[in-house]
Amino acid sequence: MSLQKGDYLVIQTADIWAVYHVTDWEIVDPSAVEVIAPTPNDPSAGATGRFITLTTCHPEYSAAERWVVYGELDYWAPTGHGVPAELLEVPS
């Protein structure tokens, strides 16, 4: 199963839950370092939002390419406020 646009990415730290949604993905050459800029693919822009970028090898166990998934922050909440609803939803 792979991530699709609109899927949730939920990150837990010791203090907060951060809930992102997937905005896009692409497969790039390993030299494409601009994908991990504060504003992905726009290094000269600086930080223009609250983004997350996930990268992994593509194909699996290969150094040929990188699969890059982009997300944008929906909200964050203290961990003491319970589990985010996005983790409790049942996929259809």
Q: Is 57 a catalytic residue?
A: yes
Q: Which residue among 27, 33, 57, 83 is the active-site one?
A: 57
Q: Residue by residue, what is the 3-state secondary structure of the chain?
A: CCCCCCCEEEEECCCEEEEEEEEEEEEECCCCHHHHCCCCCCHHHCCCCCEEEEEEEECCCCCCEEEEEEEEEEEEEEHHHCCCHHHHCCCC
Active site amino acids? 57
